[in-house]
Structure 1
Amino acid sequence: MPERTPKALRAAIAKHTPKLLPDFDRNWREKIADTYDLAPVPAFMARWWSEFALARDPQLETKVHRLEDEASQATDNALAKSLVEEAGRLRREASKAEPGQ
């Protein structure tokens, strides 16, 4: 994982998970650059830190997306809830990655 700065995170995304770069740049423009408001930077970083942490592990990313897809198609509320909770747990675990890991 890179340093916890927008610049370092963007460089890591560009190098290791370039498929995320267009969405990262669009989201940066919408939330930060076009508004000239730095208040959303912590939330922006939390979201994209998690997205990058997940995307750098293709097996984990596939598992999380599969759980989310299954939840969206589940007809049983309890099953859908458990699938979404598991996907969320995996996302939270991935987002705990620290710089240098």
Structure 2
Amino acid sequence: MTTAAAGEPGIPPMPERTPKALRDAIARHAPQLLSDFDAHWKRYVADAYDISTVPAFMARWWGEYAIARDPRLDAHVTGLERRAAYECSDLAEAKALLEEASNIRHMAARTEPGQ
């Protein structure tokens, strides 16, 4: 499974790559992430008085939103991680599930604005 294709029906495009645009997109299309986004911003960026934390913050939340904006993809990644943590007794199988989830997260992080 890959990340949402640009223009896929029902999947909102990625916003401009700014904290404000990303927050607005999260509020509109993935509100379940908003309180964590705001808490993370306040703790690691707003109260840090150090803008060097912004790139890491954006990288994390960009990928989170890229997945969350597609409910099927979000459920798939969550399912992979849940199965690895709670349902696998075979270490190799759990590792394969987590590698698949990680690959999806890496692809999501590379999603460009407008896609």
Band of TM-score, shorter chain: over 0.9
Give the secondary-structure state (helix, strand or coil) at the position aligned to 1:39.
Answer: helix
2:43 alignment partner AA? E
State which of 43, 46, 57 in structure 1 corresponds to 2:59.
Answer: 46
Map of 1:20 onto structure 2: 33
- Structure number with greater CO (CA < 8 Å, separation at least 6) is 2
1:30 aligns with 2:48: no
1:78 alignment partner AA? A
How far did residue 88 of structure 1 move? 0.6
Map of 2:4 onto structure 1: none
Structure 2 residue runs of 5 or longer lacking an equivalent are 1-13
TM superposition outliers: structure 1 runs of 4+ over 2 Å: none
Map of 1:97 onto structure 2: 111
Q: What is the alpha-carbon root mean square deviation over aligned residues?
A: 0.9
Structure 1 residue runs of 5 or longer lacking an equivalent are none
Deviations 1:67-100 (A, max 9, x none): 0001102221111111100001111122221111
Deviations 1:13-62 (A, max 9, x none): 11111111100000000111111121111110000000000001100100
Identity %: 58
Map of 2:95 onto structure 1: 81
Taking structure 1 as the reference length, the TM-score comes to 0.95
Whichever structure has more helix as a proportion of its residues is: 1
1:72 alignment partner AA? A
